[in-house]
Amino acid sequence: MTLSSGNAVDPVRLPATLAQKLVARAAGVDHVTPGSIVMCKVDLAMSHDSSGPRRVAPLLRELGARVWDPARFVVVTDHYLPAADPDAEAILRFTRDWVRDAGIPNFIDGQGICHVVLPERGFVLPGRFIVGGDSHSPTGGAFGAYMFGVGATEMAGVLATGEIWLRVPQTIRIDWQGALADGVCAKDIMLCLCATLGLGGGRYEAIEFTGPAVVALPMQERMTLTNMCTELGAQTGLIAPDATTMAWLAQAGVDAATLAAIDPRPWRSDADAPVLATHRFDASALAPHVAAPHSPANSAPVAQAAGQAIDIAYIGACTGAKLEDLRMAARVLRGRKVAAGVSLRVAPASVRDQQVAAQDGTLGVLIDAGAELLPNACNACAGYGASRFPAGSRAIASTARNFAGRMGDAGSAVWLASPYTVAATAVTGRITDPRAMLA
């Protein structure tokens, strides 16, 4: 690796990937070379109640440092809500007290999961360089922002200086041609990739999703793609911003002046930019996928898991309980009931998404089918609270990971699937292909 000189280079003569362009902007140079190390200025930092103040406050205190720009730090409570014990109560109290004392204006308390509420509040914009205190921070890459996760020590450095060093990544292009069939969605794409490329297939580089099947996806489905780049071992996942991106941001409430200042067109890879690898897939040939315990890489078409008895069906997490996900489940559940002996648990990823789902009838369909509504928080996905899966349980979940013991007792078994497949399984009590049940 070599240290970047910072000398300006004519970008017209040096084709660049989207990742290179985003990093170059943050580094204040015209061009960066994969493998070089650059110092980047951070546009925004984000942490939650588990990774944030309780971890970084002691480090900042030891350094004698304060947050470099309180307006550029967003803190979200989502892991320890609702407080299940005195320890959780103490963590939430410390978080709230520290945010107040540090003068952090952007504190999102009890409004949903950080990776969903951050973009829905307009913090994730094309071209931005964002550091998150959670492994699924690459979610922000769906908006054409460079966003990745760091640990507490690195986050403390960011908060003290507003900067972080980065090895410029190579880009792995994942191109999806054709169109997804009805009942097949972004979660199926990612489970397929986990099996095909493996959990280390991202090589801690940048993954960029391209192709007509990706362009056709709504924003929250794009978020599922970049979110689960973490499972592939990538540093970040990226999708070039377009009219869909800008329309979603406008609907989310980003002010007109901010939107007018954003030109999404430069934030895309040059056609002749060199990439580490290109993987091409036919979206029309993709079937719903299910990952067997205890890894997302244990994924295969749903037919291979069909018939497996399930007693918990869980629709939750930043990966699998956004408004689009809830609507997928409702398409299957409309006019149907959950099977006897099955517990269908739904934890909408944000308060806003739950409110819209209530207004458009989606939430009513889920509840009428027999769903139990859980708080707008990480819940079982992060292994916290009363919703953890007990020993001996067999669950199917729309979450990102199914490692042994992650979502409950190590004696529980978790299959991963899309919201379509989770809902269909809840109706039959056995893992079921959802395509014949769509309304």
Q: Which pLDDT does position 11 carry in this prediction?
A: 41
Going residue by residue through the chain, which has 439 residues, state the pLDDT in tens, using 9 for 90 and above.
Answer: 233 333 444 445 699 999 999 999 999 999 999 999 999 999 999 999 999 999 999 999 999 999 999 999 999 999 999 999 999 999 999 999 999 999 999 999 999 999 999 999 999 999 999 999 999 999 999 999 999 999 999 999 999 999 999 999 999 999 999 999 999 999 999 999 999 999 999 999 999 999 999 999 999 999 999 999 999 999 999 999 999 999 999 999 999 999 999 999 999 999 999 999 999 999 999 999 999 999 999 999 999 999 999 999 999 999 999 999 999 999 999 999 999 999 999 999 999 999 999 999 999 999 999 999 999 999 999 998 888 999 999 999 999 999 999 999 999 999 999 999 999 999 999 999 999 999 6
Judge if 20-281 and 289-437 fold alike in CATH terms: yes
Residue 25 and residue 41: Cα distance in Å, rounded? Answer: 9
8 A C-beta contact, residue 296 and residue 235? no
Q: Domains of the chain: which residue ranges?
A: 20-281, 289-437
Phi-psi group of 174: left, alpha or beta (phi > 0 → left; psi -120 to 50 → alpha; rest → beta): beta
Q: H-type helices in 13-113, by residue range?
A: 18-27, 53-63, 86-102
| Cβ-proximal residues to 382 (8 Å cutoff; 6+ apart), any chain | 50, 79
8 A C-beta contact, residue 371 and residue 325? no
CATH of domain 20-281: 3.30.499.10
| Cβ-proximal residues to 11 (8 Å cutoff; 6+ apart), any chain | 21, 24, 30, 31
Burial category of 371 from C-beta neighbours within 10 Å (exposed 0-12, middle 13-18, buried 19 and up)? buried
8 A C-beta contact, residue 335 and residue 427? no
Residue 16 and residue 170: Cα distance in Å, rounded? Answer: 10
Q: Which pLDDT does position 214 carry in this prediction?
A: 98
Residue of 150, 224, 220, 218 lying closest to 193 (CA atoms): 224
Backbone φ, ψ for residue 250 (5° rounding): -65, -45
Q: Which pLDDT does position 2 carry in this prediction?
A: 31
Residue 30 and residue 38: Cα distance in Å, rounded? Answer: 12
Q: Which pLDDT does position 3 carry in this prediction?
A: 32
Superfamily of the domain at 289-437: Aconitase, domain 3 (3.30.499.10)
Is the pTM of the predicted complex or chain greater than 0.85? yes
